[in-house]
A = this chain, B = another copy of it.
Amino acid sequence: MTEGSRTWAVPGGRVPERSTGAEPENTSYDMLCLLNTGREDASISIWLYYEDKLPVGPYPIEVKAERVRHVRLNDLIDPEAMPLGTEYGILVRSSVPIAVQYWRQDTSRGKAIATAMAMPLD
């Protein structure tokens, strides 16, 4: 069985600058959800692409075999914290096949949510 793909893209990232409501449940965020249904641990590298500078990465993430992991992009700080309110795209590379979903929560005015599966590139 195939458990997914090794390369995934999310072109439409931008963490809302503003949040309203009690923290942390109401903080605005962009999130990647990484599902590894296989029997091998996944070593994952996240690269962030910008409109006017070189890509930044890798942000290393590990997802153990038969586990899921939800990572807020605005929590990534090494090699570089992502600026809020800035357009970016995401490339995810994994050592083993995984599945990847993208979420945004925008609480700048009430709570708005949106999601899409990342686009498999291999």
Majority SS of interface residues in chain A?
strand
Interchain CB contact under 8 A, A99 and B26: no
* In the complex, A78 has a CB within 8 A of chain B: no
> Could you tell me if A91 and B11 are in contact, using CB atoms closer than 8 angstroms?
no
Q: Is the CB of A68 within 8 A of B54?
A: no
- Residues of chain B within 8 A of A34, CB atoms compared: 11
Question: Contacts of A14 on B, CB cut-off 8 Å?
Answer: 70
Contact A109 B109 (CB under 8 A): no
Copies of this chain in the oligomer = 4
A13 — which chain B residues lie within 8 A by C-beta?
33
Would you call B115 and A12 a contact (CB within 8 A)?
yes
Q: In the complex, how many angstroms separate the beta carbon of A18 from the nearest chain B beta carbon? A: 8
Contact partner of A70 among B69, B87, B102, CB < 8 A? B87
CA–CA, A120 to B3, complex, Å?
9
Q: Is A122 an interface residue, CB under 8 A from the partner?
A: yes
Asked whether, in the complex, the Cβ of A12 is within 8 Å of the Cβ of B101, the reply is yes
Q: Report chain B residues within 8 Å CB of A100.
A: 11
Within 8 A of B (CB), among A9-40: 9-14, 17-18, 21, 25-26, 31, 33-37
